[in-house]
Amino acid sequence: MGVYLVATHHYSGDDWEQYCLLLARRHYGADQVQEVPARHGGDLGIEAFTFCGRAFQCYAPVEPLSTAERYEKQRDKLSTDLRKLDTKQKELHKLLGDVKIHNYIFLVPIFDSAQLVQHASTKSDEIRGKGLPFIADGFKVTVATDAIYAAERSEVLERPTSLIDVVPTPPDEVDDWMEGNSQLAHVALKKLAKLRLSPTAQKTYLEQLVNQFLDSENALTRLREKYPDQWEAATGARVRKERKLVLEYPPGSTNSAADVTTIVRALKEELARQAPALDDAFVDAMSWGSIADWLMRCPLDFEMESAS
């Protein structure tokens, strides 16, 4: 799991942004951090802000770079985005309401130039001098890495807390679902008949898969409501895995319950990389629930083992 978040990792811009916003939500509280999407309405120079007066801009240049090259890219990015506080001031004023920005936090994966601090100090003076209505008198720009949120980083890296509890689905709800979706259950059961399982074991196996499917779908619904960025990461990883199922597990390569476990293990590893904030219970339920989904909708199938 640590592969996703070690300091030497070469982040994509989106990965770094989502990681930084995750740390901010854990530090200040999920309900205290407002993300500012750039897709509709244009880039306003900040990617999120807190209601206590902190704004965030996250930037990860394409590595590897020398110290001088990294400094130039970071300096130019910081200048460009701070300029928008002035050029986009009307839009920002509407966005922030009565929130005044005291600290503009420029988060980067690697920070190794004192000149960047000097540049940030110069820009702090410049922004304060513009008299912008949403800028506090003591406004300052801080350049930082994820070390500024060391405790939250450790939680994500080492022992991620449960963002959403996986609540077991009552047995009667599993039965009701299978009765109401008998056609899907029948498709999955026909596929399970190709595995080396007894008829009784096939039925039990399917019931447990459906149980995991319902557990994970209910948990994903709650995750989407509270942590939409983590929901996107988790469901995106699942979709990418589904698209490669036929390539990674071609017909004839899967014909036992052990092969299914191999697919689950691979999906769990992918989810751990793409959504490291999710705890083991969530990842486990989602991985097994995905198997049930793929069996019922047909992305996953098995080949009957030929008689020897």
Question: What is the average pLDDT score of the chain?
Answer: 85
- Token pair of 173 as six digits: 């709800």
pTM score, two decimals?
A: 0.53
> Which residue in 57, 68, 78, 73 sits closest to 121, CA to CA?
78
Q: How confident is the model at residue 4 (pLDDT cuts 50, 70, 90)?
A: very low
Q: Kindly report, residue by residue over 206-254, the tens digit of the pLDDT.
A: 888 899 999 999 999 988 888 888 888 889 888 888 888 878 877 666 6
| Higher per-residue pLDDT: 246 or 180 | 180
Listed by start position, the domains of the chain span 2-157, 171-297
Q: What is the CA radius of gyration of the chain?
A: 24
Residue 202, SS3 per DSSP? helix
- pLDDT, residue 2, reads 33
Share of the chain above pLDDT 90, in %: 40
CATH 1.10.3470 is held by the domain 2-157: no
Q: How confident is the model at residue 308 (pLDDT cuts 50, 70, 90)?
A: very low
- Residue 138: pLDDT above 80? yes
- What's the whole-number mean pLDDT along residues 106-118? 95
> Which residue in 220, 217, 229, 224 sits closest to 274, CA to CA?
229
> Which residue in 35, 135, 38, 33 sits closest to 82, CA to CA?
135
Q: Kindly report, residue by residue over 60-98, the tens digit of the pLDDT.
A: 998 888 999 999 999 999 999 999 999 999 999 999 999
DSSP assignments along 119-144, one per residue? HHHHHHHHHHTTT-TTEEEEEEEEEE
| Higher per-residue pLDDT: 42 or 33 | 33
- Residues 125 and 129: their CA atoms lie apart, in Å, by 6
> Which residue in 299, 302, 300, 296 sits closest to 177, CA to CA?
296
- pLDDT, residue 41, reads 57
- Residue 195: pLDDT above 70? yes
Share of the chain above pLDDT 70, in %: 89
